[in-house]
């Protein structure tokens, strides 16, 4: 997935803000971006999504000072959608900075934040992909959470709010580290929203130890002027489970990459998601799932509902290394196009070096079924309601795949809120 040729757009507007002095990772990432630039469609990994437009936007560092009333309004909206209750544990970031006053830290887990300007050698290749490199150069804050061995950390709400008011465009680049130690458990609902023109570029460094379990649901509901570029690096050990879901609702341009490694026997990874896009929104879900040990399971189902002139992208790769015998991998991408102007680009991929495996992938694209619509309307159901029933049925089974009921309920609430706002 590396972009290795200097075919991108000049990234100096970002690099001029990054202080890389004395940090080998930051320096390596800066050199990489200086050489490669922000990718255009000429780079294979970014074949369907170009960042060219970012070079023309004068993003500056996000300020600490914000409009408190606007932030509180957004936070209330997120909490309502989450359905977790007023007393739920939450960690809040505003413009990429930890907000202690609005946070309610959970008990039983260790929570801290990335010290300003520091960046340890976390094992992530700083030049493995452009999104990671950009975060490596500019990260200044983020969540550092550890679930101790054998502890059930309950459910935690991780909130990111972008708030620019009438100011010039800003960018923020939080770097979150989430570790679930042996036998630990955590349900993490990760929600982002905002107002104004900004770039949100979070990185998630995730490690699930032996028999650990992390259920991670992301609700991306950024403002329509925002750009959202996220990347998750997940490593799962023996018997561990990383159960993830990404719901893309907001931003004018968004991309979420997942790089998941099943590193020991018996590990499981679920990388599911849905994109609900309208207008001229562009949403990209890209994944690389690496089976690097035998007897591991991966599941991926992505569904897209696209209307107006929206464009959805799915790129999914399952890599099975030679040692990874008895691999069980499944991948499916489905798209529902509600208008002639909507577009989906799909690139499923299998790369297999082991002989004893069970792997499959597929993709389907279609419109609402006329026969089903006729059937519903013949029973006295109005056209709009009939379409609603069919679209909700299309989405139901993918949302239902997340294991944690609390997160499943939150995702359904988020879909319902989107539906009410955009369709009803």
Q: At what angle do helices 383-399 and 370-378 cross, to 10 degrees?
A: 120
- Work out the average pLDDT over 387-395: 90
**Domain boundaries, given as residue ranges, for the chain:** 12-264, 368-424
Among 39-43, 176-180, 368-372, 407-411, name the one with the lowest average pLDDT: 39-43
Contact 153, 406 (CB under 8 A): no
- pLDDT of amino acid 18: 67
Does position 3 have pLDDT exceeding 60, yes or no?
Answer: no
Q: Which two tokens stand for residue 67?
A: 């409009």
- pLDDT of amino acid 116: 53
Beta strands in 250-366 (DSSP E): 253-262, 268-277, 282-291, 297-306, 311-320, 327-337, 343-352, 357-366
Tell me: the pLDDT tens digits for 180-204?
999 999 999 999 999 999 999 999 9
- Give percent helix, percent strand, percent coil of the chain, each to the nearest 5: 25, 40, 35
**Half-sphere exposure (Cβ direction) of 213: Cα atoms closer than 13 Å:** 13
Among 39-48, 202-211, 333-342, 382-391, name the one with the lowest average pLDDT: 39-48
In this prediction, what percent of the chain has a pLDDT beyond 70?
Answer: 94
Rounded Cα gap, residues 115 and 98, in angstroms:
11
Task: Name the more confident of 9 and 136.
Answer: 136
Supply the mean pLDDT for the chain.
Answer: 91
- pLDDT of amino acid 2: 42
Residue 118 CB partners (closer than 8 Å, separation 6+): none
Does position 341 have pLDDT exceeding 50, yes or no?
Answer: yes
Confidence grade of residue 263 (pLDDT, cut at 50, 70, 90): very high
Q: At what angle do helices 130-138 and 24-36 cross, to 10 degrees?
A: 130
- Work out the average pLDDT over 90-106: 94
Does position 240 have pLDDT exceeding 80, yes or no?
Answer: yes
3 state SS of 413: helix
Compute the residue count for the chain: 424
In this prediction, what percent of the chain has a pLDDT beyond 90?
Answer: 70
Contact 163, 95 (CB under 8 A): yes
Rounded Cα gap, residues 285 and 314, in angstroms:
5
Bridge partner list, 221:
193
Rounded Cα gap, residues 397 and 114, in angstroms:
37
Burial class (CB in 10 A: 0-12, 13-18, 19+), 67: middle
Contact 160, 174 (CB under 8 A): yes
Does position 226 have pLDDT exceeding 70, yes or no?
Answer: yes
Contact 119, 82 (CB under 8 A): no
Contact 344, 312 (CB under 8 A): yes
- pLDDT of amino acid 22: 67
Candidates 139, 172, 145, 137; CA nearest to 64 is 172
Rounded Cα gap, residues 73 and 101, in angstroms:
15
| Strands 110-113, 143-147: pairing kind | antiparallel
Candidates 11, 48, 58; CA nearest to 30 is 11
Exposure letters 264-291 (e unless 16+ CB within 10 A, then b): bbbbbbbbbbbbbbbeebbbbbbbbbbb
Tell me: the pLDDT tens digits for 123-165?
788 888 899 999 999 998 999 999 999 999 999 999 999 988 6
Contact 151, 184 (CB under 8 A): yes
- pLDDT of amino acid 7: 46
- pLDDT of amino acid 11: 79
204 DSSP assignment: E
Q: What is the pTM for the complete model shown?
A: 0.94
- pLDDT of amino acid 317: 95
Tokens 């006329």 correspond to 370
Confidence grade of residue 117 (pLDDT, cut at 50, 70, 90): low
- pLDDT of amino acid 329: 97
Among 4-8, 72-76, 175-179, 243-247, name the one with the lowest average pLDDT: 4-8
Candidates 243, 299, 251, 242; CA nearest to 275 is 251
Tell me: the pLDDT tens digits for 24-45?
888 888 888 888 888 877 788 8
Contact 198, 74 (CB under 8 A): no
Candidates 276, 273, 298, 296; CA nearest to 288 is 298
Tokens 């299309």 correspond to 394
């Amino acid at each position: 997935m590396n972009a290795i040729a200097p075919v991108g757009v000049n990234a100096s507007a970002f690099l001029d803000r990054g202080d890389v002095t004395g940090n080998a990772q930051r320096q390596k990432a800066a050199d990489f971006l200086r050489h490669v630039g922000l990718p255009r469609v000429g780079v294979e990994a970014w074949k369907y999504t170009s960042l060219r437009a970012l070079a023309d936007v004068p993003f500056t560092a996000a300020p600490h000072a914000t409009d408190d009333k606007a932030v509180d309004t957004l936070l209330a909206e997120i909490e309502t959608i989450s359905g977790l209750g007023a007393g739920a544990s939450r960690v809040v970031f505003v413009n990429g900075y930890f907000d202690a006053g609005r946070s309610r830290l959970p008990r039983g887990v260790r929570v801290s934040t990335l010290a300003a300007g520091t960046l340890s050698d976390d094992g992530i290749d700083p030049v493995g992909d452009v999104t990671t490199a950009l975060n490596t150069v500019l990260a200044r804050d983020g969540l550092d959470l550890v679930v101790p061995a054998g502890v059930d950390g309950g459910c935690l709400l991780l909130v990111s709010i972008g708030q620019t008011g009438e100011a010039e465009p800003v960018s923020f680049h939080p770097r979150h580290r989430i570790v679930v130690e042996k036998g630990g458990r955590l349900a993490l609902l990760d929600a982002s929203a905002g107002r104004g023109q900004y770039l949100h570029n979070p990185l998630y460094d995730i490690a699930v130890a032996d028999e650990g379990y992390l259920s991670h649901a992301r609700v991306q509901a950024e403002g329509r002027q925002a750009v959202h570029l996220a990347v998750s690096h997940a490593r799962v050990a023996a018997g561990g489970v990383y159960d993830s879901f990404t719901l893309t609702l907001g931003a004018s341009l968004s991309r979420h990459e997942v790089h998941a490694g099943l590193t020991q026997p018996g590990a499981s990874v679920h990388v599911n998601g849905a994109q609900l896009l309208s207008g001229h929104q562009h949403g990209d879900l890209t994944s690389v799932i690496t089976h690097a040990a035998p007897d591991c399971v991966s599941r991926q189902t992505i569904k897209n509902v696209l209307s107006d002139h929206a464009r959805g992208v799915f790129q999914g790769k399952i890599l099975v290394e030679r040692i990874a015998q008895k691999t069980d991998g499944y991948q499916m991408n489905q798209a529902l196009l509600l208008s002639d102007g909507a577009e989906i680009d799909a690139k499923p991929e299998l790369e297999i070096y082991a002989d004893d495996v069970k792997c499959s992938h597929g993709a389907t694209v279609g419109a609402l079924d006329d026969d089903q619509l006729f059937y519903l309307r013949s029973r006295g159901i109005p056209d709009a309601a009939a379409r609603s029933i069919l679209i909700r049925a299309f989405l139901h089974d993918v949302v239902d795949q997340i294991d944690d009921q609390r997160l499943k309920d939150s995702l359904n609430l988020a879909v319902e809120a989107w539906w009410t706002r955009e369709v009803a």
